[in-house]
Amino acid sequence: MRYGKSLLAAVLLAMVGTIALTGCGETGGSNPTASSPATPASGAKEKLVMLTSPDYKPYEFPDPANREKIIGFDVDIANYIGKELGFEVEVKGTDFNGLVPALQASRADFVMAGMTPTPERQKNVDFSEIYYEAKNTVFAKKGSKLITEDDLIGKKVGVQLGSTQEGYVKDLKDKEKKNVQIVSLNAIPQIIQELKSGRIDAAIVESTVAEGYTVSNPDLEFHILPNKGLAGSAIAFPKGSKRVADFNKVLQKMKDNGEMKRLVQKWFEPQ
């Protein structure tokens, strides 16, 4: 009996060993369990989400050939940075005033939207170096004779909600005590519509954007205003992001090798 029990035990042990080996093979194969999540395929690029407000031509706007796709100056810069740093860019859109809250809520890796790094924004997000600087304009119907700040006194002035242009007009009203009625709207096309319908008298719009809209709206014109204080566009990141330094290196490279100039010519200069 002693021998028989030993043989049975040996058989049982062999069976257990076979099952254990089979189990190990499955765990290490191509069908991981829920407790062992799959890892990205070797060589696959990291994907970063760029959030923008796609109503700011030529910075970012829907592709006329495919309205689901966002194109523009900022998108080209982001794709160049992605190529240099080895990541893929996924571009998503939202209203401009929702961009900073989205970064704070970790719904995006970075924001490019012609955004100026104002002191107020710097409290909530980190910024790259400025990569492009444009000027504000008084944007109005042709023949309106609205050219300077003083011409806006007593007028309804449209601005994009959450933009530096909104801050500009608020300063005219609050700090400089000029009687200007502010009309804040979500998107530039809304501003254009309100302007053309006569529901606002003028708008404050960035020069490159104003130039683009006058091409398709020849009944409108713009006049450049002198810059006051901080101006220019920078890339926004969540507070404490470790990506800022790497992005800055690529932005500087683009300025040094002429790529930034090429993109400025592509998107801002009349062909």
Q: How far is CA 6 from CA 1, 9, 13, in A?
A: 9, 5, 10
The residue among 227, 248, 255, 46 whose CA lies nearest residue 127 is: 248
Residue 121 has a CB neighbour count (10 Å cut-off) of: 19
Instruction: Decide if pLDDT at 136 tops 60.
Output: yes
DSSP 39: P
More confident residue, 127 or 216: 127
Structure tokens at 158: 């449209």
Reported confidence tier of residue 270, pLDDT bands at 50, 70, 90: low
Q: How far apart are CA 191 and CA 250, in angstroms?
A: 34
What does residue 201 show for φ and ψ, rounded to 5 degrees? -90, -35
Alpha carbons 63 and 189: distance in angstroms, whole number: 15
| Interval 38-75: pLDDT, tens | 334 556 789 999 999 999 989 999 999 999 999 999 99
- Checking if the pLDDT of 3 tops 50, the result is no
**Region of poorest pLDDT, from 25-29, 97-101, 122-126:** 25-29
Q: What is the mean pLDDT of residues 73-96?
A: 97
pLDDT at position 43, please? 63
Reply yes or no on whether the pLDDT at 13 is more than 90: no
The pLDDT > 90 percentage for the chain reads: 70
Main-chain dihedrals φ then ψ at residue 104, nearest 5 degrees: -65, -30
Answer yes or no: is pLDDT of 9 > 50: no
| Residue pointed to by tokens 């502010």 | 182
Q: Which domains does the chain have, with CATH numbers?
A: 46-133+232-268 (3.40.190.10), 136-224 (3.40.190.10)
252 backbone dihedrals φ, ψ, rounded to 5°: -65, -40
Point out which residues pair with 160 in neighbouring strands.
185
- pLDDT for residue 26 is more than 50: no
